[in-house]
Each structure stands twice: as C-alpha cells, then as structure tokens.
Amino acid sequence: MKQCKIRTARELKCLFVVFSLVWPAFLQAQNIPSLDFNHARKYWEANNDTTYVVNFWATWCGPCVKELPLFDALADKYRNKPVKVLLVSLDMKSQVPDKLSAFLEKKKIRSEVIHLDDRDANRWIPMVDEAWTGAIPATLILQNKRGKKYFVESEIDEKKLQDALNQIYDE
C-alpha cells in the first residue's frame, strides 16, 4: 500500500500560493456569461444602495483596453463599499469564451465581466443612454435608488472616472 508523504510546511505554502494565483484566472475563464440586453441589464438595474460602474468595451478596441486597469483599480478601492464594477464585452460571440478568457487572463483583469450578445443594437443602445451613438469605450455610472446617472462615450482617465463616481456615489 502506498502512503502519501507528509509535506513540509514550506512545500504546502508554495502549493497554496501557486493554487491561489492560478485558481482565480481559471474561475474567470470559465464564467463569462453571454447574455442578451434584457438579461444583461439586470446586472446594473437593481433598485438598491449599490452604485454601478458599467463599462462597454471590446478586446479589439485600443482605448477600451487601455482603460481596463482603471476599472480594476476602482473595484479594488471600493471593494468594501456598495460600488460594483461590471465590464460588458461587446466582442463577437465566436470569441467567447476562448479568446475573451485568454485576453482577460493575459491582462490580469479581475473585475466581473459579462458578454453582451444582442444583435439589435438599435434597440438597446438608446436604452443605455439616449445620447449614445454606440461608439466604445462607453461608461455608465448609476445609482438607481437615488435616480443618479452619468454617461460618457469616450475613453475615460482616472481623474474623470473618479470625479464622475464622486458625483453619483455618496459615501
């Protein structure tokens, strides 16, 4: 009968560190829901105390990719606050989950990601914001319970993002 060797504490710590680093990427790669707009909007339309920061982006959009770390940093900053960051990918369905998952892993994106798979953009784009032409990147910040909303259809920098959130989010 074979017996398992008892590992040293150092070996166990190393295994734990490796597992801790690999597991979140694995989970992220496995859980990107692909939703139509009516289902996707449920992620940010709850009438509660949460402020939602929703970024519409795609892997092929240079300005979108450039600003993704800002959203991760914002999510980290407000981790214990009622602020939720959601990245809504507009990539082609054929690229989900393989290409999108690999991209998120390579860029070390930790924020929650969903894939919007709804061909009727003329219907859902004005539902996000009446002034939106559909260009990306685009960012929507909502506080539904208080009826507050901010929308920008362009690349956003850290200061502009924080200023916009400060207008909507009351600590």
Alpha-carbon distance of 57 to 127, in angstroms, equals 17
Range of the domain at 84: 9-168
**Does residue 93 form part of some domain?**
yes
Query: Could you count the other beta carbons within 10 Å of the beta carbon of residue 115?
Result: 20
**Does residue 57 form part of some domain?**
yes
Torsion of Cα atoms, 35 then 80 then 69 then 47, to 10°: 40
Say how many domains are in the chain: 1
Per-residue model confidence as pLDDT tens for the chain (171 residues): 455 455 565 554 544 444 444 444 444 444 899 999 999 999 999 999 999 999 999 999 999 999 999 999 999 999 999 999 999 999 999 888 789 999 999 999 999 999 999 999 999 999 999 999 999 999 999 999 999 999 999 999 999 999 999 999 876
**Does residue 4 form part of some domain?**
no
Alpha-carbon distance of 131 to 65, in angstroms, equals 23
**Does residue 53 form part of some domain?**
yes
pLDDT value of residue 108: 96
Q: With both helix axes pointing from N to C terminus, report the angle between 62-77 and 98-107 in degrees, rounded to the nearest 10.
A: 60
Can you say whether residue 148 is alpha, beta or left, with left for phi > 0 and alpha for psi between -120 and 50 degrees? beta
**Does residue 1 form part of some domain?**
no
- Residue type, position 144, single letter: N
**Does residue 105 form part of some domain?**
yes
pLDDT value of residue 96: 84
Domain CATH for 16: 3.40.30.10
**Does residue 139 form part of some domain?**
yes
pLDDT value of residue 170: 73
pTM of structure: 0.81
**Does residue 14 form part of some domain?**
yes
At residue 16, φ and ψ (nearest 5 deg) are -65, -45
